[in-house]
Amino acid sequence: MPTEHVLIIDDSIAIASLLANEILPMGGYRATAALSGEEGLEVAREIHPDLILCDLEMPGIDGLDVLKSLQSEGLNIPAIMMTAFGSEAVAARALRMGVKDYIIKPFSTDEILAAVERALTESRLRRQVGQMQASLDGQRRMLVVIKAVSREAEKDQGPEDILSRVIMGAVYGGKADGGLVARMDPRSRQLHVEVTANLPAWDGKLINVESSAVLSNAIKTGKVVRSKSNDGLWTHIPLVRRERVIGLMSVVSKRDTHPPFADHLFSVLAGYAAYVVENGVLRSILAAAAGQEGPAG
For residue 33, is it within any domain? yes
pLDDT recorded at residue 126: 73
For residue 145, is it within any domain? no
Count the domains in the chain: 2
- CATH (domain of 124): 3.40.50.2300
What are 226-256's pLDDT values in tens digits? 999 888 999 999 999 888 899 999 999 998 8
Backbone phi, psi, residue 236, to 5°: -105, 115
pLDDT band (50, 70, 90) for residue 267: confident
Domain, as residue range, for 168: 155-293
pLDDT recorded at residue 56: 85
pLDDT recorded at residue 95: 67
| Structural contact between residues 208 and 237, judged by C-beta atoms closer than 8 angstroms | no
Percent of the chain predicted with pLDDT > 90: 36
For residue 286, is it within any domain? yes
pLDDT recorded at residue 104: 84
- Pick from 163, 162, 155: nearest CA to 179: 163
Residues 112 and 204 in one domain: no
For residue 52, is it within any domain? yes
Residues 102 and 183 in one domain: no
